[in-house]
């Protein structure tokens, strides 16, 4: 394959959502490059190469698909932390959430989210949306320089 598939970081606490999301991404062979985080804290550990991710290869993922409602540290807090971190602030972040709340939208855009996608209830639509996301961010989109390092695999 000439197409370079880069790592997608998926922060999602609900295993069913994870499964369905991976199912959607699997259709385009994108599922193998997905690393799933169970909450915000784990996400930040991963990004900072801390905790159980101390040993991981350095480098940022191509995109972070971020759910808002998560235990311990929610998506908004994660986004805020990323945008205020020198090493991480250019990381593309896409909110992938059930919330259509205006407040969440406004806050996310204010914090500099790259895209905001509401998970459609209809599974077909959901699959379609996730597929497009995966393809766009993991394949089409040119990542910022700092993200490329981790992709040499």
Partner 1 sequence: MTQKALQESEQKFRETVTYLDEGYYSVTIDGLLLDHNQAFSRILGFDIAKDLKGAKLPDFWQVPEDRKQYLNELIAHGFIRNYMVNAKKINGEKIDVMMNSHLVKDEKGGLVRIEGTFTDFTQLKLTEEALKESETKYRTLFENAQVGMYRSKIDGSAMLDVNKKFGEILGLTREESLGKAGQILWADPEDRNKMMKLLKGQGGILYNYEARLLAKNGEVRNVLASIKLNPEEGSLDGTFVDITERKRAEKALQESERIISEQFEKLNEAQHIAMIGSWEWNLQTNHVWWSDETYRIFGVTPQNFVPSFEANGKFIHPDDVANYGKSFEHSIQTGEPLDIELRLVTNDGLLKHCNGKGKIIYDDSGQPIRFVGTMMDITGRKRAEGTLRNSEAFLNNIIDQSPVPMWISDDKGILIRINKACCSILKITEQDVIGKYNVIEDNIVQEQGLLSDVRRVFDNGETVRFEIRYNTSKLEGFSLESEAEVILDTTIFPIKDYKGKVTNAVIQHMDITERRLAEEEIRKLNTELEDRVVMRTAQLEASNKELEAFSYSVSHDLRAPLRHVSGYVELLYKHFQSDLSEKGQHYLFSISDSVRQMGVLIDDLLQFSRTGRIEMSQSDVDMNEIVKEVTESLCKDNPDRKIEWVQEKLSSVYGDKAMLHLVWMNLLGNAVKFTRTRKNARIEIGVHKEKKELVFFVRDNGVGFNMQYAHKLFGVFQRLHSTEEFEGTGIGLANVHRIVLRHGGRTWAEAEPDKGAVFYFSIPKK
Angle, vertex CA 138, rays to CA 135 and CA 140, nearest 5? 65
Which of these segments, 28-36, 56-64, 88-96, 113-121, binds partner 1 (CB under 8 A)? 113-121
Q: Per CB under 8 A, does 102 bind partner 1?
A: yes
Nearer to partner 1, 84 or 122 (CB): 122
Count, residues near partner 1 per rule CB under 8 A: 21
Q: Per CB under 8 A, does 153 bind partner 1?
A: no
In the stretch 36-55, what mask flags binding to partner 1 with x, by CB under 8 A?
--------------------
List Cα–Cα distances, 83 to 113, 123, 147, in angstroms.
Answer: 9, 32, 14
Q: Per CB under 8 A, does 99 bind partner 1?
A: yes
Non-local (6+) Cβ contacts of 77 within 8 A are 40
Let me know how many helices (H) and strands (E) the chain has, helices first: 6, 5
Nearer to partner 1, 30 or 47 (CB): 30
Q: Per CB under 8 A, does 71 bind partner 1?
A: no
DSSP symbol at 8:
E
| CA 21/CA 126 separation, integer angstroms | 8
Chain residues binding partner 1 by CB under 8 A are: 14, 16-17, 20, 23, 68-69, 97-102, 119-124, 126-127
């Amino acid at each position: 394959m000439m197409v370079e598939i880069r790592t997608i970081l998926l922060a999602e606490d609900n295993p069913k959502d994870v499964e369905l999301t991976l199912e959607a991404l699997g259709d385009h062979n994108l599922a193998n490059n997905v690393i799933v985080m169970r909450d915000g804290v784990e996400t930040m550990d991963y990004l900072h190469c801390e905790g159980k991710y101390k040993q991981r290869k350095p480098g940022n993922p191509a995109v972070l698909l971020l759910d808002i409602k998560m235990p311990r540290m929610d998506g908004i807090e994660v986004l805020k932390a990323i945008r205020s971190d020198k090493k991480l602030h250019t990381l593309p972040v896409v909110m992938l959430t059930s919330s259509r709340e205006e407040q969440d939208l406004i806050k996310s855009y204010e914090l500099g989210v790259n895209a905001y996608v509401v998970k459609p209830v209809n599974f077909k639509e959901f699959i379609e949306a996730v597929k497009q996301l995966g393809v766009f961010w993991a394949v089409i989109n040119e990542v910022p320089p700092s993200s490329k390092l981790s992709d040499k695999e």
